[in-house]
Structure 1
Amino acid sequence: MNYDLIALDIDGTLLTDGHVLTAGVREAVREAHDRGAEIVLCTGRGPVNAMPVLDELGLAGTMITHNGAATVDSASRGVLHQYSIEAAELARFREYCLLAKLHFDINTPFEMLIEGITPEAQQMYKLYGANPVMRKPGEPLPEGLVKFTLFGEIADLDRVEADWNGWTHGLQHIRSGDYFIDVQHKEASKGTALQQLARLRGIEQSRVMAIGNYFNDVGMLAFAGMGVAVANSPDAVKEAANVLTRSNEEDGVAHALRAFAWK
């Protein structure tokens, strides 16, 4: 094996656009694991709806979730590290979304809280295997929040992004998909979390491989000794990678692993 630690984004990378894990991708990931590499899902999802993907791969272990804001152990459901944010820091973003009637959820490492639901959001959660909990807007938010996620149409999110880019605040907002904007701790990222994990494992940067497809993957692609972007990535993501592979619809992860991980 050329790499000891392999980080895989889930949506748009490991899974097809229909959120299917193909047999070819599963077999290649399993082979990388059997050859001795630690496989780490590195996703914008929370642990609860990332674990079924790990189960489908037939694996267990550490997952980097919420764009690096929470690193967790799938077996014990323990949080190894998290970047927490205060409820007061989210107030401005929440109020903006309420006024604009845009759907959002608020997340701790293992909980997803919502204050309302639309048919579109309901379908989206079903597609991602998420089960949000309805909260009363007047109730205080729990401690240990890690992410605020806005869901909407591309044109609406483009306008939101333009507005928020003009704000001064102590958090960061990042486009984690065409239909999502995530707000989280300014130091949280997949790249930072992957670097922390590699250091914990005593693995050199050159022995780390990462495969991703979107803007929230740029940090881990840049950190990894081998950063791979799938063909369906935006140009800026491709530029952050060392190499390109086939798209998520063409078993790109399997192709990359067989081309670079053990040849």
Structure 2
Amino acid sequence: MKYRLIALDVDGTLLNDDHVLTEKTIATIQEVHDQGCHIVLCTGRAPDSTLPLLQQLGLEGTMITHNGAATVYADERGLTLVNEFAFTVPEIEPMLNYVRREAIHFDVCTSFNMYIERISDYEKQMYKKFLITPKLVTSVSELGLPIVKYTLFSQPDVLDRVQQDWEEQQLYGHLRMIRSGDLFIDVMNPIANKGNALKTLASSLEIDPSEIMAIGNYFNDLEMMDFAGLGVAVANSPEGVLQAADVITSSNNDEGVHEALIKYCLSY
């Protein structure tokens, strides 16, 4: 097999719009794995909400989580932190003041936990969909813990305004602000991305980039798609992601991951 490692984005790529992992996709991933290929889920999710999907695939191994900010190994003993790119809460205090004033929902994440200051039924449904159980605290400013990701959740027009304001004011300072979905903005360590995490992992496994295929659907997938020997975009990706990809597969609702694995890994 040409590819020794397959990096898979989860939401909008591996899962369909109903957040379902289809049986056909599971079977194809298992076949690729059984032929000696590493399967690595690369997601904006936390480890706890990624692990059930790895288990559904019947696999153990490394997961790149929090958009590359935390790499975790999962086996029968549980979760072990392999690497993280962290920052401190004081570094995001200007942005915290902004979202509190504007009543925009946010959470902050350590590698293994998520913290929020308030929650409505709308946010509860979102967290339920992503298999997340956040911890409610009075103020995240008092946590005193290393943070790997700070996320805003709101409607696209609200986040468009936030993105413009923060860029004009350089409110995120030396940190990195990315749009990880229509409804999400993430702020992270400037070197934290899926590409850098994948590069570190590949080096530890002695796998050349030419032996890696990465499949994604959004702008937070671009670095890993660029690092991989073959960068694949599912058809439901935004135009900028489609243009950046080496090849395009079917959409997440049409089992694009299954199609790409059949075409580029299992065809003889």
TM (norm. structure 1) is 0.98
Q: Compare 18-27 and 74-83 and name the one that shifted more.
A: 74-83
Residue 77 of structure 1 aligns to a residue whose secondary structure is strand
Residue 226 of structure 2 aligns to a residue whose secondary structure is helix
Q: Specify the code of the residue in structure 2 equivalent to 1:64.
A: I
The answer to whether the aligner puts 1:14 opposite 2:18 as a matched pair is no
- Describe the superposition over 1:206-225 as per-residue Cα deviations: whole angstroms up to 9, x where unpaired: 00010000010000011100
Q: Specify the code of the residue in structure 1 equivalent to 2:155.
A: E
Q: CA deviation at 1:93?
A: 1.3
Equivalence map 1:96-135=2 (5 Å): 96-135=98-137
Equivalents in 1 of 2:232, 2:165: separation in Å? 32
The answer to whether the aligner puts 1:143 opposite 2:130 as a matched pair is no
- Give the equivalent residue in structure 1 for 2:205: 201
- Give the equivalent residue in structure 1 for 2:60: 60
Indicate if the aligned counterparts of 1:2 and 1:262 stay in contact, CA closer than 8 A: no
Q: 1:188 aligns with which of 155, 179, 192?
A: 192
Residue 210 of structure 1 aligns to a residue whose secondary structure is strand
Q: CA deviation at 1:138?
A: 7.1
Residue 169 of structure 2 aligns to a residue whose secondary structure is coil
- Describe the superposition over 1:80-126 as per-residue Cα deviations: whole angstroms up to 9, x where unpaired: 11001011111111111101100000100000000000221111001
Indicate if the aligned counterparts of 1:7 and 1:42 stay in contact, CA closer than 8 A: yes
Equivalents in 1 of 2:46, 2:68: separation in Å? 10
Q: Specify the code of the residue in structure 1 equivalent to 2:16.
A: T
- Give the equivalent residue in structure 2 for 1:77: 79
Equivalents in 1 of 2:42, 2:144: separation in Å? 25
Equivalents in 1 of 2:132, 2:116: separation in Å? 12
Q: CA deviation at 1:167?
A: 3.1
Indicate if the aligned counterparts of 2:85 and 2:189 stay in contact, CA closer than 8 A: yes
The answer to whether the aligner puts 1:256 opposite 2:260 as a matched pair is yes
Could you list the runs of 5+ residues in structure 2 that have no partner in the other structure? none
* Percent of aligned pairs with the same amino acid: 48
Indicate if the aligned counterparts of 1:71 and 1:82 stay in contact, CA closer than 8 A: yes
4+ residue runs of structure 1 moved beyond 6 angstroms?
none
The answer to whether the aligner puts 1:241 opposite 2:245 as a matched pair is yes
Residue 58 of structure 1 aligns to a residue whose secondary structure is coil
Equivalents in 2 of 1:39, 1:167: separation in Å? 40
- Give the equivalent residue in structure 2 for 1:171: 175
Change in Cα spacing, 1:194 to 1:162, as seen in structure 2 (3 Å) is same
Q: Specify the code of the residue in structure 2 equivalent to 1:196.
A: T
- Give the equivalent residue in structure 2 for 1:224: 228
Indicate if the aligned counterparts of 2:180 and 2:218 stay in contact, CA closer than 8 A: yes
Q: CA deviation at 1:239?
A: 1.7
User: How many corresponding residue pairs?
Assistant: 263
The answer to whether the aligner puts 1:88 opposite 2:90 as a matched pair is yes
